[in-house]
Amino acid sequence: GFGGFDFSGAQGFGNSNGKASIKNTITDAIAMYDYLIYKQIARSENISLFGYSYGGAIAIELALKRKVHAILLESTFSSLRDIAISQYSFLASLLVSNDLLNSKKNIKRINVPVVIAYAGNDQIIPIAQSKNLFTSANPPKYLFEIKNAQHQNIFNFVTDEYIKLIKKKLL
């Protein structure tokens, strides 16, 4: 089956306590995964990850550390440094470690089916970053444009064609 992680309960998100940080979010993702396995709620071959925007980078980090069936990424940046360049400047990007959430590098080490979707009118994450992730991913891999969508409303533009792709390639 396709089970995604909801990070609204992660440290510093939603109503949870703790501090929101990259390290804490990755730690929380691993803890959620390990809980599912330990409680025998799911087996690794039945766990697929869904990551939207920042959550996509966390899903890739989790897939590096734990066995999963597949990954679905929506509007995910190729690296934290790349997003710093696009949102601020090259100079600002030099303050970001090149190893910090470097999804285009990390995805090369993952060998499960991956669907990378992007909003056709994304004003936050440049479309080129999704295409860079796709280029870096190992097959089987699939790239899908969610037409007319922007970053914040991508869920409103999901089509039957997209759902069929997910069911056929990831389930």
Residue 137, pLDDT score: 98
Residue 148, pLDDT score: 96
Indicate the pTM of the whole model: 0.83
> What is the SS3 assignment for 73?
strand
Residue 88, pLDDT score: 59
Mean pLDDT, each 10-residue run in order, the chain (171 residues): 45 55 88 94 93 94 96 90 62 55 94 97 94 97 97 95 93 81
Residue 169, pLDDT score: 87
User: CA 158 to CA 135: how far, in whole Å?
Assistant: 23
Beta carbons of 64 and 87 less than 8 angstroms apart: no
Residue 55, pLDDT score: 92
